[in-house]
Copies of this chain bind each other. A is one copy, B any other.
Amino acid sequence: MTNPAKDAQAGVATAPAAAEQFLEIIPLGGMGEIGKNITAYRFQDEIMVVDGGLAFPDPHQLGVDLIIPRIDYLQQHAGLIKGWILTHGHEDHIGGLPYILPRLPRVPVYGAPLTLGLVREKLSEFGVRESDVDLREVDLNAKIRIGRHFGVEFIRMTHSIPDNAGYILTTPVGRVLHTGDFKLDEHPSDGKLSDLGRIEQVGREGVLLLISDSTNAERPGRTMSEAEVAKNLEDVIARCRGRVFMTTFASNIHRIGNVIQIAHRLGRRVVMEGRSMLKYAQVAQQLGYMDLPEPLLSSEEVGDLQDPQVLYVCTGSQGQPMSVLSRLAFGNHAKIALKRGDSVILSSNPIPGNEEAVNLVINRLYEIGVDVYYPPTYRVHASGHGSQEELATVLNLARPKYFLPWHGEPRHQINHARLAQTLPRPPRRTLIARNGDVVRLGPDEFRVTGTVPAGGVYVDGLGVGDVGDDVLLDRANMSQEGILIMTAVLHPTPHVEIVSRGFVRPNRDLDGQIRRVALDAVETGMREKKRLEDVRDDMYGAVRRFVRKVTGRNPVLIPLIVD
């Protein structure tokens, strides 16, 4: 591994004179994090972009709905963008497009059928007209050109959504292989394997740079196949004697398709519940990615079916409060009530940050008395990302000269880099990059030469970017200590009103004391003919000291003076 900062400095002195022939790789999201993937490639006066995802906020990003990548760099060089490619239809790869595409010129956007189907759905939801974007459908072995300098060959890689792609990027300086998100599933549900043959072939021909998925770089061995998950699900469902409720990620179309087949074999009709589940299923069916042996039912159509004849597929694998499973667990679903004898299968793991919410739901399900099946006790879920042996296979086949571990936090990137070093033909150099780094790539050059603005823009309600870290800091302070508003009215005789929220329970004694302290400060200030701002500051200081002393707390204090 190499220290990029050090390299960048060293490069100033040692860069070759004829340095015009290089490619710049500029990750604007997804590098050093898991989420909001977007990468720009620039060669001279041409830019090609890959993906445009969103991220979900950390628990400390209070009240933020979602986070989209900063695209200042793309906006500043909008005229250079020649095209865009999409690797697959997950939110962290396409969820930012409704915010991003309308802010940039209309360029061709290439993607596989399901990927574009999900993008269309998303754009229409956000009111972006389809005529404002130029979506171009490609097969998963298509070769396209973008601008004069970029040749893109899509390659199929297995993942937890159909139509998932990596790509081989041919540029004037050499070949870049980007895996996209992947695992190496040897028993994929649709029978379509990762194209390892093509990776081996370009590996022999020469890969200058490999960019590869680091998500599970800390996990030894191999990630379980989707076929084994299906087998384990069938084992569990076969032993259930009452109704079955199964939840998973709505985008896991193969998993849901498998469960629909399993239900059919076991004589259960499938009921689908939850907006996002229905949305994905609709797109998947329309485009031929989900075969239905029998029509799906709505919960109203269950009618006279016996409990062992029904299987519900529903939202809520992450414990989301408004999801179907949460409403079932907390007993406030309008149409369905869980009962003893029902079984619930969580075919999922909590995404970091959702552990508490999922745990609450699981405990409530136990309290209701239903049977609950979830990992690791039941092996009914597998990650969509390859573990160490799969990452090693790709590294061994691709034999890259340079290596850029991507799609991971520093811990994942660095363990991926270490893994590469243990292999028979380790890469010549590995960079641990971050969002905004400008990675310069040439036949004999691989280093960070600068940075561009990168980071996240908060989306909150209808606002994009009007909530920043300053606003979140206020929210954090109020969330810990509450707020206390003091309104001093000066005329005809000075008096002070106190209102608080989230501070302490209504407490007349304490309110009275605080009013007294505030009023003393105001009266003193007026006697001494201070300026109003100073009177306000005196009141603020006096109350702050008093409150800290008697309660041990520091609520956000807002002093108002009405003259």
CB distance from A247 to the nearest CB of B (A): 16
| A325 CB, nearest partner CB in chain B, Å | 15
Could you list some 11 contacts between A and B, CB below 8 A?
Answer: A359-B411, A366-B414, A461-B551, A462-B552, A471-B504, A471-B505, A475-B480, A485-B560, A489-B562, A499-B558, A560-B560
A463 touches which one: B355, B364, B504 (CB < 8 A)?
B504
Query: 4 closest Cβ contacts across the A-B interface?
Result: A461-B552, A479-B479, A462-B552, A475-B502
B480 near A62: Cβ-Cβ < 8 Å: yes
Chain B CB within 8 A of A172 CB: no
The contact size tier of chain A is 35 or more
Is A76 positioned at the interface, with any CB of B under 8 Å from its CB? no
Given contacts A460-B504, A478-B502, A485-B499, 6 further A-B pairs with CB under 8 A are A3-B369, A362-B411, A461-B551, A462-B551, A471-B503, A560-B560
CB-nearest residue of chain B to A560:
B487
Cβ of A353: which chain B residues have Cβ within 8 Å of it?
355-356
Label chain A's interface by main secondary structure. Answer: mixed
Question: Does A367 count as interface, using CB distance less than 8 angstroms?
Answer: yes
Please determine whether B462 and A366 come into contact, CB atoms closer than 8 angstroms.
Answer: no
List of B residues within 8 angstroms of A479 by Cβ: 62-63, 475-476, 478-479
Distance between Cα atoms of A499 and B355 in the complex (Å):
36
A356 contacts B485, C-beta separation under 8 Å:
no
Residues of chain B within 8 A of A466, CB atoms compared? 504-505, 507, 551
Chain B residue with the shortest CB-CB distance to A482: B475
State how many angstroms separate the Cβ of A539 from the closest Cβ of chain B: 15
> How far does the alpha carbon of A232 sit from the alpha carbon of B372 in the complex, in Å?
35
Contact A471 B558 (CB under 8 A): no
Q: Are A562 and B503 in contact (CB under 8 A)?
A: no
Q: Which residues of B contact A497 (CB under 8 A)?
A: 560, 562
A359 B352 Cβ-Cβ under 8 A: yes
The answer to whether A553 touches B501, judged by C-beta atoms less than 8 angstroms apart, is no
Whether the pair B59, A356 counts as a contact (CB closer than 8 A) is yes
Given known pairs A462-B551, A553-B463, the reply for A485 and B482 (CB within 8 Å) is no
A17 at the interface (CB under 8 A from B): no
Complex interface: chain B residues within 8 A of A59 (CB) = 59, 356
| A502 with B471, Cβ < 8 A, contacts A487-B562, A551-B462 known | yes
A63–B62 alpha-carbon span in the complex (Å): 13
Identify which of residues 539-563 in chain A touch chain B, using a CB-to-CB cut-off of 8 Å: 550-553, 556, 558, 560, 562
A363→B410 CA distance, assembly (Å): 6
Contact of A482 among B63, B410, B468, B551 (CB under 8 A): B63
Name A480-535 residues within 8 Å CB distance of B.
480-483, 485, 487, 489, 497, 499, 501-505, 507
- In whole Å, how far is A319's beta carbon from the nearest beta carbon of chain B? 12
**Residues of A410-452 contacting chain B, CB below 8 A:** 410-411, 414
Q: A478 — nearest CB in chain B belongs to which residue?
A: B478
Q: Does A472 contact B (CB under 8 A)?
A: yes
Within 8 Å by CB of A411, from B363, B369, B480, lies B363
A562 to B479: give the CA distance in the assembly, Å: 28
Distance in Å from the Cβ of A7 to the closest Cβ of chain B?
A: 14
Q: Is A294 an interface residue (CB 8 A)?
A: no
**Shortest beta-carbon distance from A84 to chain B in Å:** 28
Does A470 reach chain B (CB closer than 8 Å)? yes
**A425 CB to closest chain B CB, in angstroms?**
24
Judge if A234 is at the interface, Cβ distance under 8 Å: no
CA distance A479 to B59 in the complex (A): 11
A499 and B560 CA atoms in complex are apart in Å by: 9
